[in-house]
Structure 1
Amino acid sequence: MIEFIGIGFIRRKGGILANLTLREDWITTGVEAGTREEVFKVLAQPLYDAGFVREGFLEGVEEREKNFPTGLPTVPFGVAIPHTNPQYVKDNAISVGVLKHPVTFTVMGTDDETTEVRLVFLLALNESQKQLNILKNITSVISDENFLKSFLTMTRKEIYEVLKVNLGGVI
């Protein structure tokens, strides 16, 4: 059970999960990208502009993705949840991209399986132990096939509202 306890905080069994910021203008729909790196660049820019991440964040995300892939082979399309090491992050934040066309990502926990991704949650977390909890919460949001499919037709505002409700007030 997740309980909203204040702006940006949620309480979950075991304590406060995270202080995570998502702004409506950090959600990009119709992202035109042919590679993971292009996706990362689009989604990282608002975090740089707002001062939530440090120099090297983008490169850190790219490097971590090569070594520890984040693609999830969900149905009807794949989802990716890239992130990097805490030293590149000033404040916890998330940026979201709905891709116009699928981009190939390597499946989490493999070296050679791939999935065609249409939805990306770029995480900027300054404490590595928070990553697992945030990943679990996002995974619960994307586990319903029909709900996941609806992301492709939602507006930026609709996605923001859905995430605000379904991530239990994290944002």
Structure 2
Amino acid sequence: MTKILVQKDLVVLDLRAESKDEVLRKLGSLMINKGYAKEGYIEALIEREKEFPTGLVSIDEIGIAIPHTDAHYVNNSAIAVGLLENIVPFGLMGGMDNDLVNVEIVFLLAINNPCEQLNLLQNLIGMFQKRNTLKKIKEAENKGQIVSILNKELIK
């Protein structure tokens, strides 16, 4: 069971970024500023994303990314969500170096327990395979609606 709730203060609507590194820096800074992650978290995210890309395409053909890094960069577990103003290319999970996904939504994970991380990733991927869930998130009018949708889906 996932016990990590999405909080309104970790949801960013219309996140403006030109590159995946800029997305990671902006959302990662939010995690650090709110006390969820430690110094070094952003650099670790960027390095891990180079080695192990996290871009996926949902059943609704919405590009998403689920960047994360090692638990020792994390104080408290949290999920930051960024709805991108414009699509940003991320590497395809399990793909070749030049396989890209046009990402619209980023779910940035800060997980301080490796067992919790696997469970959360499984729940997220399960959510991405459900029709219309990500469409509802994209069409949400405010952070509260997004938080409600995500917490309903992730707390099973």
By the TM > 0.5 criterion, same fold?
yes
Aligned residue identity for 1:35: S
Contact 1:76–1:149 at 8 Å: present in 2 too?
no
Q: 1:35 aligns with which of 16, 19, 35?
A: 19
- Residues paired across the two proteins, number: 153
TM-score normalised to the size of structure 1?
A: 0.83
Runs of 4+ residues deviating >3 angstroms = none
**Larger helix proportion of the pair:** 2
CA shift for structure 1 position 21: 4.5
Question: Please, which runs of 5 or more residues in structure 2 have no aligned partner?
Answer: none
Equivalence for 2:147: 160
* SS state at 1:152 partner: helix
Aligned residue identity for 2:145: E
Q: Measure, in 2, the Cα distance between the counterparts of 1:48 and 1:161.
A: 24
**RMSD of the alignment, in Å?**
1.5
Contact 1:73–1:79 at 8 Å: present in 2 too?
yes
Q: Measure, in 2, the Cα distance between the counterparts of 1:82 and 1:41.
A: 12
* SS state at 1:22 partner: coil
Equivalence for 1:132: 118
TM-score normalised to the size of structure 2?
A: 0.90
Alignment of 1:1-171 (within 5 A): 11=1, 17=2, 19-74=3-58, 75-111=60-96, 112-154=98-140, 155-168=142-155
Question: Please, which runs of 5 or more residues in structure 1 have no aligned partner?
Answer: 1-10, 12-16
Q: Measure, in 1, the Cα distance between the counterparts of 2:99 and 2:5.
A: 32
Larger radius of gyration: 1
Q: Measure, in 2, the Cα distance between the counterparts of 1:29 and 1:107.
A: 23
**Larger strand proportion of the pair:** 1
Contact 1:36–1:105 at 8 Å: present in 2 too?
yes
Q: Measure, in 2, the Cα distance between the counterparts of 1:100 and 1:50.
A: 23
* SS state at 1:161 partner: helix
